[in-house]
């Protein structure tokens, strides 16, 4: 991806947004939208019979998506599309502490076990998300965690959960989102309950416990806010790389880095050189890389669906074209498959009240331009 292409997209985007402002100001500006449509890349592909998993696997990549028990067990049409498009299933919420741990002494594996069975039945791989995070913690944990009991709680949780699914998980997000430079802690670390109780050592502790419980899983450090050329993302990239360097030099069993990749459709500050350098630096530590939570927020994009879908698709394709140039990238996972079920419909609503459209399939489960853009990015990616 050249700077020229990115500048072109930025110009198109600015033109589109300018026109939309015009549309709201005057009805005569409506005529502008089709003209602007033509400026944005046309996303059509004749090989529509293929699935994303097929396009990915031709380049030795894995494509998959996040979903959950509630959705897959109740929506057969969606499940059928999921099984067709995906090679790997990521439980979006069903392996988080809040779901697994009703009390300090109990584990509830009902939903997670169902998902494992679903994956096995449909010959999907399954990936664990997530063992250590500052969110989705049960109230009892938040109320009782302290520096005396935190290590015991953490190790028992990891031993039990990872041990139960040992040999069955493709990979585990062992530690999620440990970086938050804004918290002003040493090494840019997040001031999470785990950090407060155990300091930075909780990270190594978690990886060692996971490796002991499942020696075959690919153990991943997963984080967000690393994609753009902004001072905030610079600080996060720097702190993430340094964390991974420390872990590797201490011999911690971390095997992969998960780049969440929650993209923003109005954001144009993508810097291919910076991004590729970051990925190369990570790869040089001997780590595999996975795009773990890809989606494109459409808040602030024009209301017109055809135009909005093309801008979202364009954001997918530009990003993947950069990232897939790095041979250490082994998987691309979207955070959801269809706009029917996306966290963004609750967490990032549009001001105009229209439904958000961040994923490869529409609410009707039909393929959107984003699907084509992802397929094409796989198709043009270098082989691993
Ligand atoms: O299941 C309950 C339901 O019973 C209840 O009626 C409803 C009321 O709001 O809440 C439901 O639980 C919600 C759950 O999503 C399922 O919809 C939780 O409140 C809500 O907090 C939870 O949000 C999830 C969020 O992580 C926090 O765990 C999102 O679905 C999920 O997409 C999001 O995923 C995170 C990744 O784990 C880490 N990276 C960022 C990513 C996006 O925030």
Dihedral sign computed on CA atoms, order 359, 266, 289, 130? negative
Nearest alpha carbon to residue 113 among 132, 129, 94, 133: 94
Q: Residue 10 above 80 pLDDT? A: no
DSSP-derived 3-state class of residue 339:
coil
**pLDDT attached to residue 369:** 94
Give residue 371 CA to ligand 1 midpoint distance, Å.
Answer: 24
Which residue's CA is the nearest one to ligand 1's atom 43?
343
pLDDT digits (tens, 9 = 90+) for 49-70: 789 999 999 999 999 999 999 9
Give residue 343 CA to ligand 1 midpoint distance, Å.
Answer: 7
Q: Is 310 exposed, middle or buried (0-12, 13-18, 19+ CB in 10 A)?
A: buried
**pLDDT attached to residue 60:** 97
With cut-offs at 50, 70 and 90, classify the pLDDT of residue 37. Answer: very low
Task: Record the tokens describing residue 159, joined without a space.
Answer: 């031993």
Q: Is pLDDT larger for residue 46 or for residue 211? A: 211
Give residue 72 CA to ligand 1 midpoint distance, Å.
Answer: 16
Radius of gyration of the chain (CA): 21
- Average pLDDT for the chain: 91
Q: Residue 28 above 50 pLDDT? A: no
pLDDT digits (tens, 9 = 90+) for 160-196: 999 999 999 999 999 999 999 999 999 999 999 999 9
Q: Which residues contact 204 (CB under 8 A, 6 or more apart)?
A: 247, 250, 252
**pLDDT attached to residue 13:** 54
For the Cβ of 348 lying below 6 angstroms from any atom of ligand 1, the answer is no
Task: Record the tokens describing residue 71, joined without a space.
Answer: 């959705």
Q: Ligand 1 pocket test: which of 72, 74, 93 has the largest number of ligand atoms within 8 Å of its C-beta?
A: 93
For the Cβ of 173 lying below 6 angstroms from any atom of ligand 1, the answer is no
pTM listed for this prediction: 0.92
Residue 347 alpha carbon, nearest atom of ligand 1: 43
Q: Which residues pair with 257 in a beta bridge?
A: 221, 289
Nearest alpha carbon to residue 65 among 273, 293, 350, 258: 293
For the Cβ of 372 lying below 6 angstroms from any atom of ligand 1, the answer is no
Q: Which residues pair with 291 in a beta bridge?
A: 259, 332
What is the spatial distance between Cα 376 and Cα 384, in angstroms, rounded to a whole number? 16
Q: Ligand 1 pocket test: which of 343, 356, 358 has the largest number of ligand atoms within 8 Å of its C-beta?
A: 343
Q: Residue 214 above 80 pLDDT? A: yes
**pLDDT attached to residue 3:** 41
Rounded average pLDDT over 360-364? 97
For the Cβ of 136 lying below 6 angstroms from any atom of ligand 1, the answer is yes
With cut-offs at 50, 70 and 90, classify the pLDDT of residue 368. Answer: very high
Residue 260 alpha carbon, nearest atom of ligand 1: 39
Nearest alpha carbon to residue 360 among 379, 343, 342: 342
For the Cβ of 92 lying below 6 angstroms from any atom of ligand 1, the answer is yes
pLDDT digits (tens, 9 = 90+) for 260-312: 999 999 999 999 999 999 999 999 999 999 999 999 999 999 999 999 999 99
Burial 62-81 (b: 16+ CB within 10 A, else e): bbbbbbbbebbeebeebbeb
pLDDT digits (tens, 9 = 90+) for 129-165: 999 999 999 999 999 999 999 999 999 999 999 999 9
pLDDT digits (tens, 9 = 90+) for 95-118: 999 999 999 999 999 999 999 999
Active site residues: 177, 293
Give residue 264 CA to ligand 1 midpoint distance, Å.
Answer: 19
Give residue 94 CA to ligand 1 midpoint distance, Å.
Answer: 10
């Amino acid at each position: 991806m050249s700077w020229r292409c990115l500048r072109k997209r930025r110009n198109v985007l600015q033109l589109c947004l300018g026109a939309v402002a015009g549309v709201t100001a005057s009805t005569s500006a409506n005529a502008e939208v089709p003209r602007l449509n033509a400026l944005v890349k046309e996303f059509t592909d004749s090989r529509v019979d293929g699935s994303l998993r097929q396009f990915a696997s031709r380049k030795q990549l894995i494509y998959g998506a996040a979903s959950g028990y509630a959705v897959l067990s109740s929506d057969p049409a969606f499940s059928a599309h999921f099984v067709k498009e995906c090679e790997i299933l990521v439980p979006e919420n069903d392996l988080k502490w809040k779901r697994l741990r009703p009390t300090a002494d109990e584990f509830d594996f009902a939903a997670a076990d169902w998902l494992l069975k679903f994956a096995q039945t449909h010959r999907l791989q399954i990936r664990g998300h997530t063992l250590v995070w500052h969110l989705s913690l049960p109230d009892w944990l938040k109320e009782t965690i302290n520096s005396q009991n935190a290590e015991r709680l953490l190790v028992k949780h990891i031993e039990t959960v990872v041990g139960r699914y040992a040999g069955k998980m493709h990979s585990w997000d062992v530690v999620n989102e440990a970086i938050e430079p804004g918290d002003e802690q040493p090494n840019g670390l997040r001031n999470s309950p785990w950090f407060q109780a155990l300091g930075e050592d909780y990270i190594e502790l978690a990886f060692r416990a996971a490796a002991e419980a499942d020696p075959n899983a690919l153990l991943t450090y997963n984080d967000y806010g690393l994609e753009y050329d902004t001072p905030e993302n610079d600080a996060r990239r720097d702190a993430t790389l340094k964390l991974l360097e420390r872990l590797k030099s201490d011999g911690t069993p971390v095997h992969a880095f998960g780049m969440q990749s929650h993209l923003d459709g109005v954001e144009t500050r993508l810097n291919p050189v910076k991004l590729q350098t970051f990925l190369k630096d990570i790869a040089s530590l001997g780590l595999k890389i996975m795009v773990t939570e890809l989606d494109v927020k459409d808040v602030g994009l024009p209301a017109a669906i055809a135009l909005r879908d093309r801008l979202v698709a364009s954001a997918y394709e530009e990003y993947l074209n950069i990232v897939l140039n790095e041979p250490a990238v082994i998987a691309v996972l979207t955070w959801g498959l269809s706009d029917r079920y996306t966290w963004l419909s609750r967490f990032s609503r549009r001001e105009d009240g229209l439904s958000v459209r961040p994923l490869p399939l529409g609410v009707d489960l039909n393929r959107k331009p984003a699907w084509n853009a992802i397929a094409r990015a796989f198709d043009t990616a270098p082989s691993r």
